[in-house]
A and B are shown apart, each in its own frame.
Chain A
Amino acid sequence: MMKGLTNWRLFALLTALLVFLSGCGREEISTLIPAGKVAQDQFNLLILSTIVMTFVIIVVSVIFVLAIVKFRRSKLGDDMIPEQVEGSAKLEFIWTAVPIVLLLILAVPTVYSTFDLADVTAMDAETEEGEKENLTVNVTAKLYWWEFEYPEQGVVTAQELVVPTDERVYFNLISADIKHSFWIPSVGGKLDVNPENVNKFYLEFDQESSELEDGVFYGKCAELCGPSHALMDFKVKSVDREEFDQWIAAMQEEPEPAAEALAQEGEETFANSCIGCHAVSGTAPAGMQGPNLTTFGDRNRVAGFLEHNEENLKNWIENPQEYKPGNLMPDGKTNNGGEPFSEQELDALAAYLMSLSVEE
């Protein structure tokens, strides 16, 4: 968008400078290390506005410092009565006109980009065979977790969004309860997830998340939504198109029963206590009470934010309120029909859940 306006090399230099000055931040989440077209456009606007604003600050600072150094009463003497100047039409014109010019410099790319980033007309584009040309993901925000549905592919997952790189991915956002906001800082700005209407936008993922230190991009809820708003995280795996197609295919298959003995035991417990809310098949319908767990073993975090290990998983199952206050998952005792899960049952459940995987 800014090709005609700005020098990319200068941008690159300033990018490096700004990142250096501010501390890099984590590439999984920093808006200063953009990993996609949308974040890059927004980052360019940041740099452009920073340049213009630095100019403003320098002008003000120079006048300011000169004024308070030159015109101190301690220097001028106590009796000096300054000339009572009324104003100056010329000066006043200058400091009205120059800001208007500066704002015009900012206004043009702002308007262009506003329309560009909101352009979702290609969302419904179809090929001659009647297939959608572009990938669409339906995002549903629920109290402290995220559901991702791929309507064309008939696949549902939760908490970890999987997307192909180097193509436009379109999103339909809706909330199942109260207002949330969908934000993947290093890939693009946020869009609110309202309870009354579907919001649409697109993102592009230019980098494969496997190159990142943690292997995933971090996503956040950016709108206060209750006690556990801070913990309403999700993760994003960006993979190349081939791998993405494999993943979709794996999700579409019927899940295999657990192989290990302990995991089989866990599967039984799961069937008795958990299946009412959690699906373990990628083709289960969207809109279940709890997150779809088909990919649980592949995930990066438990409950979106706890380190992904069996210990945390067992603690979470026993007492979810302690970790994510205000979430809607009943505690272990309730799920088990009044008796707390035994240590053996928890071990089995954990083994089973960790065995749920669609990746090779």
Chain B
Amino acid sequence: MSSLAQKKGFGAVIWDYLTTVDHKKIAILYLISGGFFFLVGGLEAMMIRIQLMKAGNDFLSAGLYNEIITMHGTTMIFLAAMPLLLAFMNAVMPLQIGARDVAFPFLNSLGFWLFFFGGIFLNLSWFMGGAPDAGWTNYASLALASEGHGIDFYSLGLTISGFGTLIAGINFLVTIINMRAPGMTYMRMPLFTWTTFVASALILLAFPPLTIGLFFMVFDRLFGANFFVVEMGGNTIIWEHLFWIFGHPEVYILVLPAFGIFSEIFAIFSRKRLFGYTALVFATILIGFYGFMVWAHHMFTVGLGPTANAVFALATMIIAVPTGIKIFSWLLTIWGGSISFTVPMVYAVAFIPSFVAGGVTGVMQAMAPLDYQLHDSYFIVAHFHYVIVGGVVLAILAGTHLYWPKMFGTMLSEKLGMITFWFFFIGFHLTFFIQHFLGLLGMPRRVYTFGADQGWDLFNMISSVGALFMAIGVLVMLVNVVLTTVKNVRVGNDPWGDGRTLEWAIPSPPPFYNFAQTPLVRGLDTYWIEKMEGNKEGMVYAEPLGDVHMPNGSIIPLIMSFGMFVAAFGALYFLDDSKPWALAVLIIGLGITFGSMLVRSLKDDLGFHITKEELIEDAKRGGNTDGLK
């Protein structure tokens, strides 16, 4: 970290992170915890592939296998992909719009800690009687029949972490609407900010249906309600609707920011402005909009009838049009550019064929009658891994390399980065391409074993070998992170040399107040414009140097989230006769949460000011102070 941070003791650094409301530090918290859950989910994936390496394998038992696939999916989507993207949104988006922080720094911290405790709670199920085992989709009839508390860990854990995500989404929306620097009109916003904006809107609209579904599930399982109990007049299909009304937009919540990261990369490393910027923006909005009209394509085989299936099939196909616009705009961005094949760019370039492959199989599955064959077979497993890994995970890896210098002030090794890339990329295609054919050959998904001589043996073996390659790639990446951190070679404002947007105009990592003076934005790719016009500072300013108002750090978000965590245990054991203390725990937990809300409401916290003199002093030292307190 910076000069001031190095003087701090270890305990002080920890305390600093526990109480921080700085978007850049919260980004690091998201990155570390998302990265940790990514490794956990990856380990689960490896166990799945070991089990399916050969016919009739007994590495995992049937019940354990179902727990592992459930936790693999849930962890990767909710606890790895989303927080890792939230890390980049937090780290970069406020810088891109020239803001000093997000609109609600306190809420930002609360959002993180809710996600964190929700994720921990969910994973504690492994040690407390078994993980959820009804698939990440948690279909109601199976979920209600599931014994033990696994499903309750799922519904309570996701409720808590879902609050966190919802808060983050609202926060980003308000930030982007209100805190853009002067001159940063909507149509000058970098594409990553745009995709953050649209994804946040999707979070705002998509998470409430999930929360409702989870509440129904919690009440059915823990408090004796009958929303999904067929014998009592309930209906399990309602869960499927609620889940997918959330679940489909969720795909776009993940993939739109990934598109945003790639859009930045294509422009930077081709030294060219995005081709068809306006079209890209409107394609993003359209994808977000259509994302809410297509959920029933996950339910073609449920028996909704031909009219519903036909309508949703057509609606789904339409999404291919804006997605195609994006692909061609990216291709035309690099066309005529000057392409530098750095690690982020290599990921971005590899993303195009990978994602196109995932996209075309998506259109195939949009054809409802064909989907009757493909649905719930290994074809769909191949398809969504092509989209999520080929789109989102490649973006996360690319983004990690791209923004690492901005977040930590050091450059990840390009050489090790390339090794990671090749292992991961080859492994990815080896693992999942062959799975299309497994599906076509009749292999259903979510099977813990398969019989020999059904024509699936060789392909499963190949798929498992591919998974090993991906694991090696990720391990090399970890080595890269450790080596880079140990070497600690500091970099300047614009380490890639071709930065175009505001975040590259300020030190790496930026000072805790981001911009000593709010910049004035004179066009799309504002930093590029200033550079091309020979402006050495890289920015023009919208205000004179003056005092900067900053928020105080606070431990309250952590305590508030911890209260929810405690209360969840109370709810979990509410119906267990052997645990009469459950109600007390529920009340104590909620007491902690509401008590800390009360403290927050009654105690004025007006923040503090950094004086002009301190800013000048800081600028002399390189302008990347980690904080004055």
Using a CB–CB cutoff of 8 Å, the interface residues on chain A facing chain B are 22-26, 28-32, 39, 41-42, 45-46, 49-50, 53, 56-57, 60-61, 63-64, 66-68, 71-73, 76, 80-88, 91-92, 95-96, 99-100, 103, 106-107, 109-111, 113-119, 175, 177-179, 181, 183, 185-186, 188-192, 194-197, 199-200, 218, 220-231, 305, 325-326
Contacts and interface: CB of A to CB of B under 8 A. Distances in A.
A53 B444 contact: no
Given A114-B313, A230-B447, A325-B61, A224 B371 contact: no
Query: For chain A, what secondary structure do more than half of its interface residues adopt (helix, strand, loop), or is it mixed?
Result: mixed
B453 interface: yes
B331 to A, nearest CB: 5
Contacts of A191: 301, 303, 372
Contact of A87 (B133, B278, B314): B278
A120 B267 CA distance: 54
Contacts of A28: 454
A99 B321 contact: yes
Interface stretch (B152-160, B247-255, B269-277, B586-594): B269-277
Contact of B446 (A80, A175, A229): A229
B580 interface: no
A218 B375 CA distance: 17
Given A53-B364, A114-B306, A230-B447, 4 more contacts: A73-B340, A91-B328, A177-B141, A190-B301
Contacts, number: 295
A194 B302 contact: yes
Contacts of B336: 71, 82-83, 85
Contact of A223 (B61, B339, B340, B376): B376
A95 B325 CA distance: 6
24 contacts: A25-B442, A29-B442, A29-B454, A30-B442, A41-B369, A42-B372, A45-B370, A53-B360, A56-B324, A60-B356, A81-B532, A82-B271, A103-B320, A113-B367, A117-B372, A185-B377, A195-B230, A200-B303, A222-B377, A227-B133, A229-B446, A230-B446, A231-B449, A325-B62
B14 interface: no
A12 to B, nearest CB: 18
B369 A42 contact: yes
A190 B379 CA distance: 14
A29 B449 CA distance: 16
A238 to B, nearest CB: 16
A310 B241 CA distance: 46
A226 B331 contact: no
Contacts of B331: 60, 63-64, 67
Interface in B327-359: 327-329, 331-332, 334-341, 349, 352-353, 356-357
Interface in B225-270: 230, 235-237, 270
Interface string B299-326: 0011101100110011001101100110
B270 A82 contact: yes
A181 B440 contact: no
Contacts of A50: 364
Contacts of B532: 81
Contact of A106 (B321, B339, B363): B363
Contacts of B357: 57
B441 A32 contact: yes
Given A30-B440, A73-B340, A196-B237, A103 B272 contact: no
A103 B320 CA distance: 8
A211 to B, nearest CB: 17
Interface of B: 61-63, 66, 133-135, 139, 141-142, 145-146, 230, 235-237, 270-273, 275-279, 301-303, 305-306, 309-310, 313-314, 317-318, 320-321, 324-325, 327-329, 331-332, 334-341, 349, 352-353, 356-357, 360-361, 363-364, 366-373, 375-377, 437, 440-442, 444-451, 453-455, 458-459, 532
B141 A179 contact: yes
A326 B139 CA distance: 18
Nearest to A24: B455
A191 B340 CA distance: 50
Contacts of B320: 99, 103
A327 B188 CA distance: 61
A42 B334 contact: no
B306 A115 contact: yes
B2 to A, nearest CB: 31
Given A192-B303, A195-B230, A224-B135, A103 B373 contact: no
A42 B337 contact: no
Nearest to A83: B336
B373 A73 contact: no
A196 B450 contact: no
What 4 A-B pairs have minimum CB-CB distances, sorted nearest first? A189-B372, A230-B447, A185-B442, A29-B442
Contacts of A42: 369-370, 372-373
Contacts of B135: 224
A22 B63 contact: no
Contacts of B451: 305
Contacts of B142: 178-179, 224-226
Given A29-B454, A114-B313, A230 B437 contact: no
Contacts of B61: 227, 325
B230 A114 contact: no
Contacts of A22: 437, 440-441
A111 B445 CA distance: 26
B313 A95 contact: no
Contacts of B367: 45, 49, 106, 109-110, 113
Given A188-B372, A190-B375, A223-B139, A26 B441 contact: yes
A300 to B, nearest CB: 12
Given A71-B339, A181-B301, A326-B62, A110 B440 contact: no
A71 B321 contact: no
Contact of A103 (B66, B318, B442): B318
B370 A46 contact: yes
A68 B334 contact: yes
Contacts of A195: 141, 230, 236
A24 B62 CA distance: 29
Contacts of B455: 23-26, 29-30
